[in-house]
Amino acid sequence: MERIGVLGAGVMGAGIAQVLALAGHEVVCADIDQAALNKGEEAVVGGRFGLSSAVSRGLRSQEEADAARTRISFWVGIDAMTEADLVIEAVPERLELKIEVFKELDRITRPTTILASNSSGLPITALAGATSRGPRVIGWHWASPAPVMGLAEIVRTAWTSDETVETVTRLARAAGKNPIVVKDQPRSWGYVANRVYAAMGSEARQVVAEGVATAEEVDQLMIDCFRWPAGPFGMGGGARSGWN
């Protein structure tokens, strides 16, 4: 069992905290905003993909859900991360903000703490460069909704140690995810999953702009042809909202 900190209680952060608590870890979920924490806690307990829903659908027992809930605590402020063995950053997707967060996490956490980012595609190398612990900085990209999606895109930089990669892939696999390790490419946004998705989305928007088909028609064609659960336009909106 690791002590895990999740920084950010939004759609992704709350879902990540829930998954890791169900996997048996003590989780501290922190945010700078009490209202965001309240909303995140509500999502964990009673949201569409929360613990109560998992019980009602027969995916988890009531005992498992209750135990997971007791393992999650919600706190205001980054100082709640000081005792964590691993911190997963899930703050808004702005590079300058994430760099400042990593600088502060580097200052307040133990030297042995692993710092991971749930960025969708920003350079992990830049985040590692803001710290004094390059070997212990890694990307751990989750997909929305975190309690459902199997994605664990593990992004290593040129500095990330094998030990850090092994620890994070072990945690991801034990939490029911499918970890795949990829290399950080600082000059390209999106790692692998979102890099490919961005190319698809660009072409889908071009099709609509040319008047070939509507967005709704593009989505339906991709669903019908490739058996996707959603098309490129629906997929983007669903990911941003947590599919609620």
Active site residue 25: no
Residue with tokens 């300058």: 96
Whether 141 is a known active-site residue: answer: yes
163 tagged catalytic: no
Helical H segments across the chain, by residue range: 11-22, 34-46, 51-56, 62-71, 95-108, 124-129, 162-174, 193-209, 215-226, 232-241
Catalytic residue among 144, 153, 188, 216: 153
pLDDT in tens, 191-212: 999 999 999 999 999 999 999 9
- Is the pLDDT score of 20 beyond 70? yes
Tell me which of 194, 216, 217, 244 is the catalytic residue.
194
| pLDDT above 80 for 22 | yes
Banded model confidence at residue 237, pLDDT cuts 50, 70, 90: confident
Residues 115-154: pLDDT tens digits?
Answer: 999 999 999 999 999 999 999 999 999 999 999 999 999 9
pTM of this structure: 0.92
Cβ neighbours of residue 62 closer than 8 Å, sequence gap 6 or more: 55
Structural domains for the chain: 3-183 (3.40.50.720), 193-241 (no CATH)
Give the pLDDT of residue 236.
73
Pairwise CA distance, residues 117 & 74, whole Å:
19
Burial 86-117 (b: 16+ CB within 10 A, else e): bbbbbbeeeeeebbebbebbbeebeeebbbbb
Q: Identify whether 153 is a catalytic site residue.
A: yes
**Which pLDDT band holds residue 230 (cuts at 50, 70, 90)?**
confident
Catalytic residue among 83, 141, 144, 217: 141
